[in-house]
């Protein structure tokens, strides 16, 4: 297909979200259609090998909404889906890339909080002031926050939040410097952006309780993820570098 230059690309990874995926995509599409003025947009949806009816639903609704760009891949995990989504997004040469998850825990109505501040930073993050996640996930988030501070001497409030707005050219630079294919690429991108001196803003956004589907990383697997992420962060600490952003 041809990739035409686009003002905003929204990247949404999805896995087994048959109960809510159509609602999520239509709510984002309807909101952006009404909110964005003279800004073209597309929503890149990366189906990460869903085993329920999600693929069928995506293919059906893609015929209704021209702003949807659906990609199916073998199951590789959330991080792999995010990276694929970013890579596809950059083919559209976007001014901005926004990433959000497909579990219906975030609101499109919070998007203007980031969009209206886009002239102040190349990399803006939402922040879950009140977070509806399992206790184990909250603990691991705190552990990762401490590790990041110890290794990089930067304080990041919500490093892995899937509610982030990144300037297209800057995201391309970050992706080029990303170490391999880390399990949680959004954490690394956040650290890199912070080390570059970006004001990440940490703008409070609403986080809702999950009403459908199920968390894909739980209990023992969650602990393994924490160990793997910590190992990758330690390894990356010796290679992280500051980028030249004069051309952005």
pLDDT in tens, 194-224: 989 999 999 999 988 876 655 554 444 656 7
DSSP 3-state assignment of 125?
A: strand
For residues 87-102, give the mean pLDDT.
97
Spatial separation of the C-alpha atoms in residues 77 and 2, rounded to whole Å: 27
**13-19-24-27 Cα dihedral, nearest 10 degrees:** 160
E strand residue ranges, 60-216:
68-73, 96-100, 123-128, 163-167, 203-205
> In this predicted structure, which of 63-67, 131-135, 184-188 has the lowest mean pLDDT?
131-135
| pLDDT for residue 238 | 63
| pLDDT for residue 220 | 46
User: Phi and psi at residue 152, in whole multiples of 5°?
Assistant: -115, -5
How many CB atoms lie under 10 A from the CB of residue 174? 21
Q: Which residue has the higher pLDDT, 24 or 195?
A: 24
Domain ranges across the chain: 8-131+160-210
Do 165 and 205 touch, CB atoms closer than 8 A?
no
Residue 153's Cα: distance from chain center in Å? 23
Residues 6+ apart with CB under 8 A from 42: 6, 8, 9, 10, 67, 68, 69, 92
| pLDDT for residue 59 | 97
By residue count, the chain amounts to: 248
Spatial separation of the C-alpha atoms in residues 150 and 132, rounded to whole Å: 27
For residues 21-30, give the mean pLDDT.
97
Domain range 8-131+160-210, its CATH number among 3.40.50.11390, 1.10.10.1100, 3.90.550.10, 3.20.20.220: 3.90.550.10
Percentage of the chain lying above the pLDDT 90 cut = 61
């Amino acid at each position: 297909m041809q990739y035409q230059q686009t003002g905003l690309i929204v990247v949404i990874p999805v896995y087994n979200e048959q109960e809510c995926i159509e609602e999520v995509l239509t709510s984002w599409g309807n909101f952006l259609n009404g909110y964005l003025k003279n800004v073209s947009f597309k929503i890149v949806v990366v189906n990460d090998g869903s085993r329920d009816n999600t693929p069928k639903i995506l293919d059906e609704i893609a015929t209704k909404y021209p702003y949807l760009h659906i990609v199916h891949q073998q199951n590789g995990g959330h991080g792999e889906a995010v990276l694929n989504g970013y890579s596809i997004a950059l083919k559209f040469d976007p001014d901005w890339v926004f990433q959000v998850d497909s579990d219906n825990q975030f609101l499109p109505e919070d998007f203007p909080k980031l969009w209206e501040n886009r002239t102040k930073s190349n990399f803006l993050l939402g922040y879950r002031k009140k977070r509806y996640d399992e206790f184990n996930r909250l603990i691991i988030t705190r552990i990762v926050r401490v590790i990041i501070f110890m290794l990089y001497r930067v304080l990041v409030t919500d490093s892995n939040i899937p509610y982030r707005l990144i300037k297209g050219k800057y995201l391309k630079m970050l992706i080029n410097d990303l170490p391999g294919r880390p399990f949680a690429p959004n954490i690394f991108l956040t650290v890199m952006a912070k080390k570059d001196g970006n004001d990440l803003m940490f703008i409070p956004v609403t986080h809702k309780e999950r009403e459908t589907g199920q968390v894909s990383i739980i209990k023992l697997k969650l602990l393994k993820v924490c160990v793997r992420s910590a190992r990758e962060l330690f390894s990356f600490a010796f290679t992280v570098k500051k980028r030249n952003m004069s051309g952005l």
